[in-house]
Chains A and B, each alone.
Chain A
Amino acid sequence: MVEDLIPEMVAICGPDAVVTDPLELRTYECDGLTAHRCAPGLVVLPETAKEIAAVVRVCARAGIPFIARGSGTGLSGGALPRTDGVLIVTSRMRKIIAIDPVSQRAIVEPGVTNLSVSTAARPFGYFYAPDPSSQVVCSVGGNVAENSGGAHCLKHGFTVHHVTGLQVVTPAGDLVWLGDGTGAAPGYDLLGAFTGSEGTLGIVTKIIVKLTKIPQLITCLLAAFQTTGAGGAAVSAIIGAGIVPAAIEMMDALAIEAAEMAVACHYPQGAGAVLVVELDGPTADVLADLAKVRALCEQSGATEIRQADDPDERAAIWAGRKSAFAAVGRISPAYIVQDGVVPRSSLGSVLDEIARLSAACGIRVANVFHAGDGNLHPLVLYDDASPEATAAAEELSGAILDLCIAHGGSITGEHGVGVDKSKYMPKMFADTDLDTMQLLRCAFDPVGLCNPGKVFPTPRLCGEVPGARRAPHPLVASGQVDQF
């Protein structure tokens, strides 16, 4: 029983770092995906890597599942707790240990928020490139677990491209380093394989990240189009011209309308779609690219183009885009944030098909997305007071994922699989693919105590022979382990 661990947890972390009060436990019952809820059996708030290792060792010995949680902003239920498990929260581990501008590295604790790395690096002329929209709140540990991206990953890459060392507590409770900070450590790239593993391979206790030089010039441009198709054509034209903007974001008419109501961003009236294109780099290169992007937008039928010439104007252009998710909340009682990816070249046809699906079932879909890398965020609007509407919205949301898969894309570009999408994994991957991924899991966590039940639908137990499963695994039958 998880309660039996309380005295040991108190001994490890101190009495004020162990949460047992039912009311307080409930504040941890979900992450950013509030549809899935479950109050944890126990919450611990350790302050050091050693404490986490000790907590995990206790859990491992007792056979109690444990789950890491950073800031709880995840959108796939990755940090969803278990009543029979311990939730290990990193919010008291917020030290920035070092900034090394010459090596272009920072060392941080896992609870450090994404934005504060950039804030700490700024005096040296650097920033931390992966910038999820949740960057004010989300933790770097959570970013590593999700391999988070952001609007600017089109040019600058994802979390995995910016992490060169991880100190982790393995599911057995050992403290080990993956990578040595250089980016060229000998041996298997376990660091790369761990990044994006959604907390299922261990708990991150320190992170060495790359810092990126702040560009000489950042500029951005807003282009309005009559249709998303025309906007999509402009995206293809820009990429086809060999330009790599820092970001290309698109919003459709419904999203624009919502943003207008929320923040009065004054995007061109009546636009069917807007593109926000940001360019960064050395001044002369940026200016040259900017002229090309303008011309390409015009050729693709842009009805209006605005250009930001200073940080305030840039902020004004981004205001609408940044407010979009929250803004949609004002025009609908509830909405599902979907996260799917299609090859950029299929953007136009996929958006058309989403529109058709939406019209067919009478459910509105607002599209706000990272157009440059084909990462769609359709927002499916519905009334959660009605169970039928809720079910229909979920069905539409799932149909959108099917579309992504049919076009050779992915069921998630940045929010992760978590509990939310594990059932879609078999649509994207064959059993043999999932079993092969499971081998990595078995190497790290043979007994399956580390964030069980996430990412993979009913994985094979470690050591189980492939083939049809006719009877329960002997370990399950004897009650020694649960099958998650």
Chain B
Amino acid sequence: MDAMLTELSRACRLTRAAEDSDAVLGVTPRYVASPADAGEAGALMRVASGNDLAVVPRGLGTKLGWGTPPTRCDLVIDTSRLDKVVEHAAGDLITRVQAGVSLDRLAETAAGAHQQLSLDPPPGCPSTGTIGGVLATGVAGPRRWRYGTPRDLVIGLTLVRADGTIARSGGKVVKNVAGYDLGKLFAGSYGTLGLIVDAVMRLHPQPAAVSYAVTQRDDAQALSEAVAAVAGSELAATAIEVDRESRDGPVRIAVLLEGDPSGIAERSRLLAKLLGEGTRTGPEAPDWWGRSGPATAPGTTLVRFAFWAAALPRAFAAIDAAGHAAGVDPVITGSAATGVLYGLLGPEADPAAAAAFVSGVRAAIAAGELDAHLPGVPHQSLPPSQASAVVLTSPPEVRRSLDPWGPVPGLALMHAVKDQFDPGHIMAPGRFAGGI
């Protein structure tokens, strides 16, 4: 047995030699370790940092195909044994769970007290991933309009640093401003700052009733007006989603209402009136609801566009122009009211065309076409760019011909943060923006 494996096994009993199936975006590690607790995870990281082993944390592996491939990977730390729901304080609407707990498990636990972790996927959609993975990638679905993204729901964190130090931030009360909030920093960090061991998450009551209103519009302009009308109404929607199968087709809109049954009945009626003729309402989500989530089938190119909501019609225009020029016709879906859309291209799409499409949208962003357009406001009063196009996952050929992350403002500070937390650059090196 190789000496390193012996040393790693001393730190963590369940350590084995890696197999081809353990590869992270084509990079095969040498070892896979499954720590049973924070102590084993810390010991593993001490061995890793002492021997300059590059480490990639892994949950259920559903988002391992996201981000960029690691520049090197020696050790995969698999969180599947960190699977305990440590605490569910129903009266306080919080739960503390280890990183490897799946969203399904968490949902089941919370449901016992008629509570939920208000991250999608919503009822009816297959849920995926572990809490550690969801935090590390910062993914959120339709209900981000109301509840935000994982960073908005994490209130406490236990992490293992690259050097094996175990540290905590936050706590288990929702209202707490003691110390820096490392939960925010780690949310969306793709494992590049350290290993998430457990997290305390804020829960919400399950709604007593839900209702969806579904309708469609012929073009992006009409769609934008409808979305703005709902977002600007007093109807307190939980999610406002749009979906378009192809450039020449109509755009579908679905609005989710949650709340008291009598309130929902009244609001559904008002919403149907607001959206006009042909609006259907009912308790079932349309089949396309939140489909950017499960859409990570191999070979898919999934691009996330973010912009100020007022730029919605211009975002569609830029996406369509770029798609047309590149000869692709992506499905467009997402949370229009929050200014987040996803572009989806199936495995059959030509990688060069997919890359050209993304570059096309980025060129429009660079030209300011997706900017906030605030009359009279000087550009130095605004962020340098107010929109982004990030390739969340794609076939390797697409990734190779463009930077999946695109331009990232504030990169110098991000490098400084990385250098502090992981001076040896052993945590998921190269997985993140700017080569981090």
Interface residues, chain A, with chain B CB atoms under 8 Å away: 97-98, 100-105, 107, 125, 146-147, 149, 153, 157-158, 160-161, 165, 167, 170, 174, 176-190, 192-193, 195-197, 206, 208, 213-216, 236, 239-240, 242-244, 281-289, 341-345, 370, 373-375, 408-417, 421, 425, 428-430, 432-437, 439-444, 455-456, 462, 466
Contact = CB atoms under 8 A, between A and B. Distances in A.
B410 A412 contact: no
B408 A343 contact: no
A436 B173 contact: no
26 contacts: A98-B376, A98-B381, A100-B308, A157-B148, A161-B152, A177-B384, A182-B307, A184-B340, A187-B409, A187-B434, A190-B413, A192-B181, A192-B187, A193-B180, A193-B184, A215-B236, A284-B260, A285-B264, A288-B261, A341-B175, A416-B177, A425-B178, A429-B169, A432-B165, A435-B167, A440-B417
Interface-centre pick from B174, B179, B231, B421 (highest chain A CB count, 10 A): B179
A327 B316 CA distance: 56
B52 interface: no
Nearest to A407: B173
B399 interface: no
B377 A98 contact: yes
A147 B420 contact: no
A436 B260 contact: no
A177 B91 contact: no
Closest 8 CB pairs of A and B: A192-B184, A285-B263, A242-B205, A345-B91, A436-B167, A184-B306, A216-B234, A102-B310
Given A239-B91, A444-B416, A180 B383 contact: yes
Given A190-B417, A285-B259, 4 more contacts: A161-B152, A187-B434, A429-B168, A443-B416
B161 interface: yes
B339 interface: yes
Nearest to A341: B173
A340 B408 CA distance: 38
Given A193-B182, A443-B416, A375 B175 contact: yes
Nearest to B231: A104
Contact of B413 (A170, A370, A374): A170
Interface string B411-435: 1111011011100000000001110
B409 A177 contact: yes
A100 B421 CA distance: 38
Given A430-B168, A436-B165, A98 B374 contact: yes
A345 B91 CA distance: 6
Contacts of B184: 160, 189, 192-193, 195
Nearest to A180: B383
A440 B306 contact: no
Given A374-B173, A409-B171, A442-B420, A417 B179 contact: yes
A244 B204 contact: yes
Given A177-B383, A215-B236, A408-B173, A436 B339 contact: no
A291 to B, nearest CB: 10
Nearest to B306: A184
A181 B383 CA distance: 8
A182 B312 CA distance: 12
Interface-centre pick from B93, B208, B411 (highest chain A CB count, 10 A): B93
Interface residues of B, number: 97
B173 A342 contact: yes
Interface stretch (B13-21, B97-105, B343-351, B386-394): B386-394
Nearest to B180: A437
Nearest to A167: B383
Interface of B: 89-94, 114, 138, 148-149, 151-152, 159, 161, 165-169, 171-182, 184-185, 187-189, 193, 204-206, 208, 228, 231-236, 259-267, 304, 306-311, 338-340, 372, 374, 376-377, 381-388, 390, 405-406, 408-414, 416-417, 419-421, 432-434
Contacts of A178: 410, 413
A243 B115 CA distance: 11
B166 A239 contact: no
A285 B260 contact: yes
Interface-centre pick from B94, B177, B384, B409 (highest chain A CB count, 10 A): B177
A105 B308 contact: yes
Contact of A180 (B206, B264, B386): B386
A363 to B, nearest CB: 25
A410 B311 CA distance: 41
Given A153-B175, A242-B205, A190 B185 contact: yes
Nearest to B421: A439
B388 A184 contact: yes
A182 B388 contact: yes
Contacts of B166: 432
A216 B236 CA distance: 9
B409 A412 contact: no
Contacts of B419: 443
B338 A197 contact: no
A185 B178 CA distance: 26
Contacts of B409: 176-177, 180, 185, 187
A146 B339 CA distance: 28
Contacts of A409: 171, 173, 176
Contact of A437 (B169, B261, B408): B169
A242 B166 CA distance: 35
Contact of A440 (B173, B176, B182, B188): B182
A176 B417 CA distance: 15
A187 B152 CA distance: 16
Contacts of A444: 413, 416
Contact of A370 (B175, B177, B259): B175
A406 to B, nearest CB: 13
B198 to A, nearest CB: 14
A184 to B, nearest CB: 4
Contacts of B260: 284-285, 288-289
Contacts of B176: 341, 409-410, 412-413
Given A102-B309, A186-B408, A236-B91, A242 B206 contact: yes
Interface-centre pick from B152, B161, B208, B413 (highest chain A CB count, 10 A): B413
B334 to A, nearest CB: 10
A475 to B, nearest CB: 17
A412 B178 contact: yes
Contact of A181 (B89, B261, B386): B386
Nearest to A374: B173
B169 A436 contact: yes
A410 B309 CA distance: 37
A165 B421 CA distance: 24
A161 to B, nearest CB: 6
Contacts of A125: 232
A178 B409 CA distance: 7
